[in-house]
Structure 1
Amino acid sequence: MPPELEGLRRLPGHEKFVLVIAYFVVIRQWLLRQPLYRRIMLGAALYLLVALTAYAVFGSNACAVVIDGRVVAVAADEKSARGTLGELIELKSAQAGIPVVAGEKVAYRGVRAEPGERLEGEALKEKLSQTVAFKARAAVIMINGEPKVFLKQVEDAEKVLDWLKALYPVQDGDQLEFKEKVEIGTAYAAVESILDLETAKKMVLWGSNKAQQYTVKEGDTLWDIARAIKYDMDQIILKNPGLDPDNLNVGQVLDLSREAPLITVVATRQVTVEEEIPYPVEVKNDDSLLPGERLVIRKGEPGERIVTYRIVRENGLETGREILEQKVLREASAEVVARSPVSIVAARGGSIRLNWPASGGVASPFGMRWGRMHEGVDIGAGYGSAVEAAAGGIVASAGWEGGYGNTVEINHGGGIVTRYAHLSSIKVRSGQRVDRGELIGLVGATGNTTGPHLHFEVLISGQPRDPLDYLP
Structure 2
Amino acid sequence: MKQTIPRRIVIGVALYLTVALSLYAAFAGNACAVKANGTVIAIAADQTTAKKALAELVEYKTGEAGRTVSYIEKVSFVGIRVKDKAEDILDFEELKAQMSSALTFKTQGAAILVNGEEKVLLKDRQEAETLLGWLKSVYPVEPSDQLGFKENIEIADVFADIGEAMDFETAKKMVLLGTNKIVQYTVKDGDTLWDISRAVHIDQDQIVFTNPGLNPEDLSIDQVLYLSQEAPLITVVATREVTVDEKIAYSVNVKYDDGLLLGEKVIISEGIPGERTVTYRITRENGLETGREVLNQVVRSEPKTEEVVKGAITMVASRGSSVRLAWPCDGGVVSSFGMRWGRMHEGIDLDASYGSDVVAVAGGTVVDAGWDGGYGMKVEISHGGGLVTRYAHLSKIYADLGDSVDRGETIGLVGSTGNSTGPHLHLETIVGGEPQDPLDFLP
- TM-score, structure 1 length as denominator? 0.49
- Determine helix, strand or coil for the equivalent of 2:258: coil
Residue in 2 that maps onto 1:107 = 76
CA distance, structure 2, for counterparts of residue 74 and residue 344 of structure 1: 98
CA distance, structure 1, for counterparts of residue 112 and residue 206 of structure 2: 29
> Is contact 1:209-1:258 (8 Å) kept?
no
CA distance, structure 1, for counterparts of residue 205 and residue 113 of structure 2: 32
2:54 is matched with which residue: 85, 92, 97? 85
CA distance, structure 2, for counterparts of residue 237 and residue 274 of structure 1: 29
Residue in 2 that maps onto 1:311 = 282
> Is contact 2:147-2:239 (8 Å) kept?
yes
1:167 matched to 2:138? The reply is yes
Residue in 2 that maps onto 1:177 = 148
Q: How is 1:3-402 mapped onto 2 (pairs within 5 angstroms)?
A: 63-75=32-44, 77-109=46-78, 119-184=90-155, 186-209=157-180, 231-233=202-204, 235=206, 257-342=228-313
1:467 matched to 2:404? The reply is yes
> Is contact 2:261-2:314 (8 Å) kept?
no
> Is contact 2:67-2:107 (8 Å) kept?
yes
Residue in 1 that maps onto 2:344 = none
After superposition, the Cα gap between the structure-2 partners of 1:69 and 1:259, relative to the gap in structure 1 and judged at 3 Å, is farther
Q: Shift in Å at residue 177 of structure 1?
A: 1.9
The runs of 4+ residues in structure 1 deviating greater than 6 Å are 46-50, 113-117, 236-239
Q: Shift in Å at residue 81 of structure 1?
A: 3.5
Residue in 2 that maps onto 1:458 = 401
> Is contact 1:64-1:75 (8 Å) kept?
yes
- TM-score, structure 2 length as denominator? 0.52
CA distance, structure 2, for counterparts of residue 280 and residue 54 of structure 1: 107
CA distance, structure 2, for counterparts of residue 174 and residue 49 of structure 1: 81
Q: Shift in Å at residue 49 of structure 1?
A: 12
- Determine helix, strand or coil for the equivalent of 1:270: strand
Q: Shift in Å at residue 314 of structure 1?
A: 1.4
After superposition, the Cα gap between the structure-2 partners of 1:164 and 1:236, relative to the gap in structure 1 and judged at 3 Å, is closer
CA distance, structure 1, for counterparts of residue 292 and residue 231 of structure 2: 23
Q: Shift in Å at residue 137 of structure 1?
A: 3.7
CA distance, structure 1, for counterparts of residue 38 and residue 314 of structure 2: 82
Q: Shift in Å at residue 310 of structure 1?
A: 0.4
CA distance, structure 2, for counterparts of residue 53 and residue 344 of structure 1: 115
- Determine helix, strand or coil for the equivalent of 2:401: strand
Q: How many residues align?
A: 292
The structure in which a higher percent of residues are helix is 1
After superposition, the Cα gap between the structure-2 partners of 1:235 and 1:201, relative to the gap in structure 1 and judged at 3 Å, is closer
> Is contact 2:58-2:70 (8 Å) kept?
yes
Q: Which amino acid aligns with 2:75?
A: V
Residue in 1 that maps onto 2:419 = none
After superposition, the Cα gap between the structure-2 partners of 1:53 and 1:126, relative to the gap in structure 1 and judged at 3 Å, is closer
Q: Which amino acid aligns with 1:86?
A: A
Q: Percent identity?
A: 48
| 1:184-229 alpha-carbon deviations (Å, 9 max, x no partner) | 45444433334454444344444434689xxxxxxxxx99x989x9
After superposition, the Cα gap between the structure-2 partners of 1:152 and 1:209, relative to the gap in structure 1 and judged at 3 Å, is closer
Q: Shift in Å at residue 287 of structure 1?
A: 2.1
CA distance, structure 2, for counterparts of residue 73 and residue 260 of structure 1: 50
After superposition, the Cα gap between the structure-2 partners of 1:189 and 1:298, relative to the gap in structure 1 and judged at 3 Å, is same
CA distance, structure 1, for counterparts of residue 83 and residue 151 of structure 2: 56
Q: Shift in Å at residue 261 of structure 1?
A: 3.5
